């Protein structure tokens, strides 16, 4: 298993997120994908990702706001 095994993808582009998910699952990663920031915090606490991939920074600010307060 990869050292970073769980990845959360936060992107409103359904097609792009789907392609990334397929590619990374093929490499053995466990993926969760969100297309809207409203459930971001809940998913982080439930899924406990090792890595979070955000879409480009302008749109990612909505995710940062939604996930504010996340700590180990």
Residues 5-21: pLDDT tens digits?
999 998 888 899 999 99
Range of the domain at 14: 6-66
When pLDDT is cut at 50, 70 and 90, the band that residue 30 belongs to is very high
CATH, residue 40: 3.40.50.2300
How far apart, in whole angstroms, are the C-alpha atoms of residue 56 and residue 3?
25
Whether 14 maps to a domain, the answer reads yes
How far apart, in whole angstroms, are the C-alpha atoms of residue 18 and residue 10?
11
When pLDDT is cut at 50, 70 and 90, the band that residue 35 belongs to is confident
Whether 71 maps to a domain, the answer reads no
Number of domains in the chain: 1
How far apart, in whole angstroms, are the C-alpha atoms of residue 18 and residue 5?
18
% helix, strand, coil for the chain, step of 5: 45, 20, 35
């Amino acid at each position: 298993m990869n050292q970073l095994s769980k990845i959360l993808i936060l992107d409103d582009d359904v097609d792009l997120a789907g392609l990334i998910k397929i590619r990374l699952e093929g490499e053995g990663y466990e993926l969760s994908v969100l297309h809207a920031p409203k459930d971001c915090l809940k998913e982080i606490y439930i899924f406990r990702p090792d890595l979070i991939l955000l879409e480009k920074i302008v749109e990612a600010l909505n995710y940062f706001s939604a996930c504010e307060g996340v700590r180990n």
